[in-house]
Each structure stands twice: as C-alpha cells, then as structure tokens.
Amino acid sequence: MTNEKSDGNFWLKPPGLAAIGLIAAALYFLLTEHLAHTIAALPYLILLLCPLMHFFMHRGHGHHGGGDGDDNDNRTGGA
C-alpha cells in the first residue's frame, strides 16, 4: 500500500460539488413538501446525529495509539 497525498478538499472537486447540490436539493424538498414529517422526525434525527458525529470526528485524532511502545510492555506483562 502506498501513501497517496490528497491534493485538495473533496467538497471543492466536481464530485463533491455534485454531492452538495444533491444534498441541497434533498433538503429543499424535505422542508417544502414534507415539513410536518421532518419536524416530527427532528428529535430522532438529533439523537442519530450524536453517534454519527462521534464516529466521523474521531478521524483526525491519530488513532490514539502513538508513542514509543513502553506502555505496551507494561500492560501485556512483557519484560
């Protein structure tokens, strides 16, 4: 596996702009045509947002496993 560099933000490339357009269109129709259903589902959507934010926001943390390895020897009983 090779380390590939990202050459920009996904949302500024054509597929990202298309995704933004589709999301905007979906939100427009949800709010204009199905406002009552959207408002009724809002508490559930907020509850669903919590685990989704937790899952996606941990992406930039560096996987919490860095260090020089000394701590791993103490936990596993190694000498």
Which tens digit of pLDDT belongs to each residue from 61-79? 666 555 555 555 555 555 5
Q: In this predicted structure, what is the pLDDT of residue 78?
A: 56
Write a three-state SS string for 3-25: CCCCCCCHHHCHHHHHHHHHHHH
**Count of structural domains, the chain:** 1
* Joined tokens for residue 64: 């919490």
Q: In this predicted structure, what is the pLDDT of residue 8?
A: 77
Vertex 21, ends 17 and 25: CA angle to 5°? 170
Report if residue 30 sits inside a domain. yes
Report if residue 6 sits inside a domain. no
Report if residue 37 sits inside a domain. yes
Report if residue 2 sits inside a domain. no
Identify the domain containing residue 27 by its residue range: 14-55
What would the pLDDT profile of 20-66 be if each residue is shown by its tens digit?
A: 999 999 999 988 999 998 899 999 999 999 988 888 887 766 665 55
The rounded distance, in Å, linking the Cα atoms of 22 and 30 is 12
